[in-house]
Amino acid sequence: METIDQHTKGIMEECKKRAADAGLNASDETLEYLVTNQDLLKLSPKIMIPTLYDYWVHDIQVHQENARYKLYPNNPYETVINSRPPISFYNDNNPDWFNIMIFYHVMAHIDFFQNNAMFKNTWNEDFVGKALADKRRIAGLRDEHGRMVDYVIEFTRGLDNIVGYYDELADLNFPNEVNVDPKMKFYFDVFLQDVKEVTSSEFFKESERYNDLVRRNPDVARSIFFAEIQTKYPEFDALYEKREEKKYKNLDVIQFIMENSKKLNFEENRWMKSVMQIVRDTSMYFQPQLRTKIMNEGWASYWHENLILKDERIKGHEVDIARMHARVTAIPRVGLNPYAIGMRLFEYIKMIGDTGRNSFEFMKLKDIDERKKFDLKTGKGDELIFKVRSDLTDYLFIQEYIDQDFVNQHKLFVVGRKPDYERMVWKYYVKSRKAEDYKKMILGALAHPPDIQVNRKRTTKNILYLEHNYEGKPLKEDWIHNTMLGAEFLWDGPVVLKTNDVSMPQSGVEPVITPVIYKMHKRTLVKKEL
């Protein structure tokens, strides 16, 4: 792979300057490579990370059933990767105006990667460099341990979509300035919730009690607070002394297995944990991208349009630009285009910020004409979209900002599809023009890994007990067997999964939810209804 030529690099640097002037803060150093179609074929199974570890499923182009994007939503054909320095890929032989447009798009992507809070777990390292070291480690392990390495990779990958991404983000985002008193932490996090299992209102009453004390007597608040606890719960002090610190950090399934599996902690098996760590780290790296697809593409499209219209270097190619832009951001007649929705939503949000429609005044207004005319001219549109870019995920983005005005403005509707067996066709029809329905449809289409946690109370030294927190959708049943087989191999003991079966006896009626237990032991899966 070559880097782009000097001329094109010069164009890119100018784009960077203009992007910075507009407020985007992409990093200074960037790398640009030219790729051929052949290169792409090799890179795409590695999700464009050239240094990603080798795994036989990557090398072999295997057909994955239709609707694979629902099961594996990570699209590999991106042009820019979230590394330090950011690396981007370009096809050869493109005119300057085309490159300018793409560069602006790439700059906005980089700005997004480096400012959106969901990516915080990727800010402190260069993934590409780390991946290279990991790849070499795995290759070395393959020399020593042969195909066992691939089995460990396979079985860990089976659990890599349920990594504790949000837990890790919570840890990272915990404000550093806040020094948490461990006794206070123990009281609120553990004692009240797990030991005493108080209700939420009781919990808040307690925290208000403390806040009240601080307001009135900041110096002695703490002592008074704990004195009262001593009276109410005499056992508290003793429990606090006996507490086991480590027990209460939330570990995801992979981490838990790594820490507690007897087999993996034997000397001769320790190497397996390195492999598992690498698989987990890789998955963590890609988690934020999964949850911000619409925002990311929308942000990049918004800025490539914005900046290119101001760029005099494209003179004479306005029609070409318009055509390309339309192609990338057109709202499909039927279907969804994250570029289209994301870009238009950002435009909408800017308008909201500029006109002050995110104010309480506007929300109070009921009159349609007055709503149309409402314009406080606050000029705070940019401030708002930059904040949105930093703080939100796709879910919040859609949930918060799609409303009837937006849906009407862009003539959006929900499309349904019915089979017509007489004529052997699928009929597409307009199902609803209502904003709530449109919003619900998109939210339903967002990538949604299931929430599966280790149930610490029920897990013993021998049995690993996993629990699926039901969020409205059942698990894909025919994949449960092999996933649990992998988990059993790593845990080296029986693995239990508690989840729900869902059936719809009749249309238009609530689904029937039946709790079930799957148990994998000695490579045999047994299912039981509870």
Closer Cβ to another protein, 49 or 442, answer by number: 442
Closer Cβ to another protein, 15 or 229, answer by number: 15
Residue 44 touching another protein (CB under 8 A) = yes
Distance in angstroms (rounded) separating the CA atoms of residues 269 and 279 = 16
How many C-beta neighbours within 10 Å does residue 421 have? Answer: 6
Distance in angstroms (rounded) separating the CA atoms of residues 329 and 12 = 22
Residue 1 touching another protein (CB under 8 A) = no
Closer Cβ to another protein, 292 or 355, answer by number: 292
Q: Give min distance, CB of 150 to another protein, in A.
A: 9
- Of 396, 504, 514, 526, the one binding another protein (CB under 8 A) is 504
Distance in angstroms (rounded) separating the CA atoms of residues 492 and 262 = 7
Q: Give min distance, CB of 164 to another protein, in A.
A: 14
Stretch that binds another protein, among 12-20, 234-242, 350-358, 481-489 (CB under 8 A): 481-489
**Cβ(464)–Cβ(496) below 8 Å:** yes
**Cβ(281)–Cβ(127) below 8 Å:** no
Residue 42 touching another protein (CB under 8 A) = no
- Of 442, 454, 495, 516, the one binding another protein (CB under 8 A) is 442
Stretch that binds another protein, among 11-19, 348-356, 380-388, 432-440 (CB under 8 A): 432-440
Residue 503 backbone dihedrals phi, psi, to 5 degrees? -135, 155
Q: Show contacts with another protein in window 306-345 (CB under 8 A).
A: 324, 327-328, 331-339, 341
Q: Give min distance, CB of 353 to another protein, in A.
A: 25
Residue 254's H or E segment, with its range, is helix 253-260
Residue 31's H or E segment, with its range, is strand 31-34
3 state SS of 450:
coil
In DSSP terms, 141 is beta-bridged to: none
Q: Give min distance, CB of 343 to another protein, in A.
A: 12
Stretch that binds another protein, among 9-17, 216-224, 235-243, 431-439 (CB under 8 A): 431-439
Stretch that binds another protein, among 6-14, 358-366, 378-386, 416-424 (CB under 8 A): 416-424
- Pair type for strands 524-529 and 512-521: antiparallel
Q: Show the binding pattern over residues 69-108: x = contacts another protein (CB under 8 A), - = does not.
A: xxxxxxxxxxxx--------x-x------x--xx--x---
Q: Give min distance, CB of 83 to another protein, in A.
A: 16
**Cβ(27)–Cβ(86) below 8 Å:** yes
- Pair type for strands 31-34 and 87-90: parallel
Q: Give min distance, CB of 411 to another protein, in A.
A: 5
The verdict on whether omega for the bond into residue 85 sits within 30 degrees of 0, i.e. cis, is: yes
Residues 6+ apart with CB under 8 A from 126: 83, 84, 85
Q: Give min distance, CB of 350 to another protein, in A.
A: 21
